[in-house]
Chains A and B, each alone.
Chain A
Amino acid sequence: MLAAPGVVWLVLLFLVPFYAILAVAFGDLDPIFGNAVPVWSPFGWDFTLFTEIVERVFGGELGQVFIRTFVYVGLALTISFLIGYPVAYFVSRHAGRRRGLLLGLLLAPFWINYLMRMLAWVNLLQEDGYVNDAIAMFGVDRGSWLDGRSFTVIMGLVYGYVPFLILPLFAALDRIDQRVLEASRDLGMGPARTFWRVTLPMSRQGILAAGVITALPMTGDYYTADLLSGSPRTSMVGNQIEFYLFEGSQKNAGASLVLVLSVFLMVAMAYYMWSTDRTTRELR
């Protein structure tokens, strides 16, 4: 079978690794060194360490990190939609003969490395950077943007992920038949009501898909917060996982947090898979 190598690959390097997370999260600690020892048999699993982490998530200091992450992602998503929807709408409806050019420009951030885009902002936001030069012209004092501000991290997330939001929105808005909108006008609705009553409801699936595609990587992001702030005051779940797995070498705590995060994101992931599958099937 042609599919066999691919399937075997995904079993060995996707399913088995997922099982490894369970084995580490529910595994033992070495009595002498205190490092995690995976337990491969489900009958030997011990849930005390995992329960401890879950308790720290619900009501402990880890809970704050989770809440902060969801607040950041929520705000960043809202701002992204406020920027992204008008842009996607304009390019799908009104771009005219510039459409190809505009689409090309919207795609550009995709092949610019994410870290390079963050590097660009780290340069701009330095004390003697262009941003401070610009606001100094208006007589505002130079600020230090990179010393652990939530505002900088949220705007960094917006900057990083807006492109991922615009494309699915564009695809959804582009599918709406122009004649439906004309019919709405002919039946006496003004532009605003046409938008609220026709365009917005018809793009609902695109909005959901775009939200999910953006929210999933944003929730697991740790490098944006690291590069633009680096302070524990803005640390997100991703930072905590990275810390446990590498710097703190508490691998079982890291694995448990990954599991908790996956459970939180399960619904979004299922929706994403369903919608990707549907899009490919529609091409039939």
Chain B
Amino acid sequence: MRSVARRVTAWAGDPWRPPVVLAMVTWVYILWSIVPVLIAVQFSFNSGRSRSTWQGFSMRWWWGDAQRSLFHDPALRQAMINSLTLAGLTMVIATPLGVGLALGLARWRGRTARASNLLMLVPLSTPEIVMGAMLFLVFDNLYTSIPLGRPAMLLGHVTFSVSYVVVIVRGRLLSIGRDLEEAAQDLGATPVQALRTVLFPLLGPAVFASLMIVFATSIDDFVISAFLSSDLSSETVPIKIYSNVRGSPTPALNALASAMLLGTTVAIALAVLSLRFFRRGARGSAVEDFARLDI
């Protein structure tokens, strides 16, 4: 007995032993963070109506049921179409705006530049509910020619996305440096030519990553959408989930959420792959870069 106790204390006191407790905490956390979602996905394949008792596998709530399944219920289909359109449009509007702003801020000096930099940073730190209330009140009272619903939602989504793009693109700009662009200009290129032929190709992957991240954050957003939506016709998937969860929804709601999960997963996977492609040969991994984006 004594020798067992001694061995235990020696093991606990050894600074070079593998950290078993920490490893356990980490894996338990990871299971806790992911398994509930997997169970929610599982229940989208439930053959009964319940979302809490398993009654066997079926595709009923995906497309089997002729009225209430994801692919047949017009309200659910509309929510999916709304989410995808909104995210797609936000992506193509916010990214050029953000890239331009990032390029400008990297070059600009002086007071206006500092003010613009601040203006770009504030939306990042503003809680969504404050931003949502602001935008709701301005569309309600001042920009009354823009109706609440899809148009206002699009403008709102672009507003919170621009800053993400700036942060991502500016990070890349700073690591590229000015040397290559200056070399191009020394060799006779105009500033515009240098931008187009040298800088844009180098920024490509960062721009692509921005597109994907904007898509994912837009499709994920709930608060801004909810504050700016008008009626059922402009509801996005998160709004649909929110308004149905506490009613008596069917597993079709789980199917809807699972379908969206698939969409964002594809977008993020593409973003990670593009970052990996960009940093061929560099140390570390693309996932780590992604984790450090800090957004």
A interface residue numbers (CB < 8 A to B): 1-7, 9-11, 13-18, 20-21, 23-24, 38, 40, 83, 86-87, 89-91, 93-94, 99-100, 102-124, 126-130, 146, 159, 162-163, 167-168, 170-171, 185, 190-191, 216-217, 219-223, 226-227, 230, 238, 241-242, 245, 251, 254-255, 258, 261-262, 265, 268-270, 272-273, 276-277, 279-281, 283-284
Contacts and interface: CB of A to CB of B under 8 A. Distances in A.
Contacts of B142: 16, 20, 38, 40
A5 B51 contact: no
B169 to A, nearest CB: 10
Given A94-B22, A106-B291, 19 more contacts: A2-B100, A2-B104, A3-B100, A3-B101, A3-B103, A6-B100, A90-B22, A94-B23, A108-B33, A118-B245, A120-B36, A124-B52, A126-B52, A128-B52, A130-B39, A216-B125, A220-B223, A245-B133, A284-B174
B134 A276 contact: no
B232 interface: no
A245 B140 CA distance: 11
Contact of B119 (A14, A116, A277, A281): A14
A69 to B, nearest CB: 11
Contacts of A128: 50, 52-53
B165 to A, nearest CB: 9
Given A89-B22, A129-B52, A265-B127, A276 B291 contact: no
Interface residues of B, number: 94
Contacts of B137: 17, 20-21, 24, 38, 245, 251, 255
Nearest to A125: B52
Interface in B179-217: 216
B26 A7 contact: no
A117 B36 contact: yes
Nearest to A113: B220
Contact of A10 (B37, B159, B219): B159
A124 B39 contact: yes
A163 B30 CA distance: 10
Contacts of B223: 220, 223
B147 interface: no
Contacts, number: 277
8 contacts: A3-B108, A7-B116, A10-B159, A13-B159, A93-B19, A102-B26, A258-B134, A277-B117
The secondary structure that dominates the A interface is helix
A14 B123 contact: yes
Nearest to B51: A123
Nearest to B267: A111
B125 A269 contact: yes
A106 B37 contact: no
A255 B120 CA distance: 23
Contacts of B108: 3
B39 to A, nearest CB: 6
Interface string B262-282: 001101100000000000000
B294 interface: yes
Given A86-B25, A102-B30, A279-B294, A113 B53 contact: no
Contact of B222 (A9, A114, A220): A114
B130 A258 contact: yes
Contact of B123 (A10, A40, A94, A104): A10
